[in-house]
Amino acid sequence: MASDIFYKVIDLSHDGKGVIKDGDEIGFVSNAIPNEDISVVWYKKSKKIKFGYSIKIENRAKERVEPICEHFSICGGCQLQHIKYEEQLRFKQKKVFEAFKRIGKIDLVENPEIVGFEILNYRNKSTFFAQNGVAGFYKEESHDIINLKSCQIQPIINIEISNFIKKYRYIGSFTIRNHIDKIMLIFENSFKNIDELVKKFPDIISIYQKNRLIWGEQYITEKLLNFKFLISPNSFFQINTKQTEILYQIVADFLTPLKNEVIADCYCGTGTIALSISPFVKKVIGVELNKDSILDATQNSKINSVQNCEWIVGDATTVISDLIKTKKEIFDGVILDPPRAGTTKEFINSVVESKIKKVVYISCDPATLARDCSIFLENGYGLKKIKLVDMFPHTYHVESVVLLEYL
Ligand SMILES: C[S@@+](CC[C@H](N)C(=O)[O-])C[C@H]1O[C@@H](n2cnc3c(N)ncnc32)[C@H](O)[C@@H]1O
């Protein structure tokens, strides 16, 4: 519902929306910047919270730029395209700083340093949703599909593949993984026209339907920091390959690994971090819940001729406790890179009780990172270093790396 009322934008929410007040209601508005006056189309309302996108803007902020995508503000994929890139970085620094202050009650001395990335088409994995001859991402705050005609943050060929698939009126989701100019496709449901698809797109080397290989190779391959990695359809891999090398370099810098040290890499995915630090330590134990990822990690150590990594399938909390308490393993350092929900109190307790000297925590959610860091700080650890990496330009997401040391 459109409105001619203009609202003053008072803040930017953690997910990049302009915040306005309308009586006792709060509105979150896409394509809005603090201090601008905006009129809004509201598309969703629940209780006293509503969501909309701006249609007219007065007092355009000096940080405003023309969005690079025709679908911006409707599409749920990007939230910050209307903001100059250096301001996007400042937004992410402030977001981490404030999460530490508000949630962790931790005062960082200043906004943490961030490594930016101004290259487009960076995503190496994208999931499309298709129905009724339409394919694309979901609209912001909804499950309606946008008929995606272009997308600046993923390889251009993905849109061509999507156009091809939707022509056959495929229904369901499909995921495209892009690594070193090769493509793996994972369909949720049956897609009948595989022969035409692979003929039209010779860079496709592997096609799955859910977990079942239906055409081509079992893996797609990536190279990082002089290591080769095999990736299977369900395995986690960092979304921005180029920035991942920077991220892992920061992890190694923070860890300062030594030749006689034993390190745990918890939530290790396909073993990328463990393998990248393996030349500098005595042993790394990688722990991961997803058994396909651990199978990939095992293969990855073989193809890279690495012999000092061990892999364990299981819940990181249970496994770390078992390794420390039952198996009496002594770790010099722990790396943890959990999903958005962060780790558990029990995981932190195991680390704290055994007084592991160095903890390098990688996180894509500043709120849970701040929460978990505060528990470490209450238990004898100091926060020694923090650095951010922009893995997801034009979105509100940010990756943080923290070094905690037992004092
Ligand atoms: C953010 S990814 C990090 C992967 C890896 N460190 C990397 O850089 O590619 C988080 C990983 O944690 C795994 N995971 C989720 N819950 C887990 C749990 N309870 N215990 C162990 N691993 C878990 C996921 O399968 C995923 O591979």
Residue nearest to atom 17 of ligand 1 (CA): 289
Residue nearest to atom 16 of ligand 1 (CA): 289
Residue nearest to atom 27 of ligand 1 (CA): 269
Over range 364-373, report the average pLDDT. Answer: 98
Task: List pLDDT tens digits, range 267-312.
Answer: 999 999 999 999 999 999 999 999 999 999 999 999 999 999 999 9
Residues 207, 346 share a domain: no
Over range 36-59, report the average pLDDT. Answer: 94
Q: Which ligand 1 atom is nearest residue 244's CA?
A: 8
In a domain, 84, yes or no: no
- Look at residue 141 in the predicted model and tell me its pLDDT: 83
Q: Which ligand 1 atom is nearest residue 235's CA?
A: 27
- Look at residue 385 in the predicted model and tell me its pLDDT: 98
pLDDT of 204 strictly over 70 = yes
Q: Which ligand 1 atom is nearest residue 335's CA?
A: 6
pLDDT of 1 strictly over 80 = no
Residues 302, 174 share a domain: no
Q: What percent of the chain stands above pLDDT 70?
A: 99
What is the number of structural domains in the chain?
3
Residues 256, 400 share a domain: yes
**In degrees rounded to 5, what are phi and psi of residue 218?**
-70, -35
Residue in 231, 247, 272, 288 to alter for ligand 1 test, most ligand atoms within 8 A of Cβ: 288
Q: Report the alpha-carbon distance of residue 45 to residue 12 in Å, rounded.
A: 19
Catalytic residue among 75, 266, 309, 364: 364
pTM of the model: 0.95
Tell me, in angstroms, the distance from the centre of ligand 1 to residue 47's CA: 36
Task: List pLDDT tens digits, range 59-105.
Answer: 999 999 999 999 998 898 999 999 999 999 999 999 999 999 999 99
Tell me, in angstroms, the distance from the centre of ligand 1 to residue 28's CA: 31
Over range 13-37, report the average pLDDT. Answer: 97
In a domain, 114, yes or no: no
In a domain, 289, yes or no: yes
Our measurement of the distance from residue 211's CA atom to the centroid of its chain's CA atoms, rounded to an integer in Å, reads 22
Residues 309, 162 share a domain: no
In the 8-state DSSP scheme, what is residue 279?
G
Residues 389, 270 share a domain: yes
Residue in 229, 234, 236 to alter for ligand 1 test, most ligand atoms within 8 A of Cβ: 236
Residues 315, 216 share a domain: no
Domain hosting 381: range is 240-406
In the 8-state DSSP scheme, what is residue 371?
H
pLDDT of 2 strictly over 70 = no
Q: What percent of the chain stands above pLDDT 90?
A: 96
Report the pocket of ligand 1 as residue ranges, CB < 6 Å.
236-238, 267-269, 272-273, 287-290, 293, 315-316, 337-339
- Look at residue 142 in the predicted model and tell me its pLDDT: 87
Residues 260, 394 share a domain: yes
> Model confidence at 3, in pLDDT bands (50, 70, 90)?
low
Residues 250, 192 share a domain: no
Tell me, in angstroms, the distance from the centre of ligand 1 to residue 67's CA: 33
Residues 265, 187 share a domain: no
Is 268 a catalytic site residue? no
Over range 204-222, report the average pLDDT. Answer: 97
Q: Report the alpha-carbon distance of residue 369 to residue 103 in Å, rounded.
A: 9
Tell me, in angstroms, the distance from the centre of ligand 1 to residue 293's CA: 9
Residues 37, 182 share a domain: no
Task: List pLDDT tens digits, range 147-182.
Answer: 999 999 999 999 999 999 999 999 999 999 999 999
Q: What average pLDDT does the structure give for the chain?
A: 96
Residues 299, 201 share a domain: no
In a domain, 98, yes or no: no
Look at 1-10, 74-83, 331-340, 395-404 and tell me which has the smallest mean pLDDT: 1-10
In a domain, 17, yes or no: yes
Tell me, in angstroms, the distance from the centre of ligand 1 to residue 109's CA: 30
Task: List pLDDT tens digits, range 118-133.
Answer: 999 999 999 999 998 9
* CB atoms closer than 10 angstroms to residue 38: 25
The enclosing domain of 41 has a CATH number of 2.40.50.140
Residues 259, 142 share a domain: no
CB 288 within 8 A of CB 309: no
User: Helix axis angle, 345-353 relative to 366-378, nearest 10°?
Assistant: 40
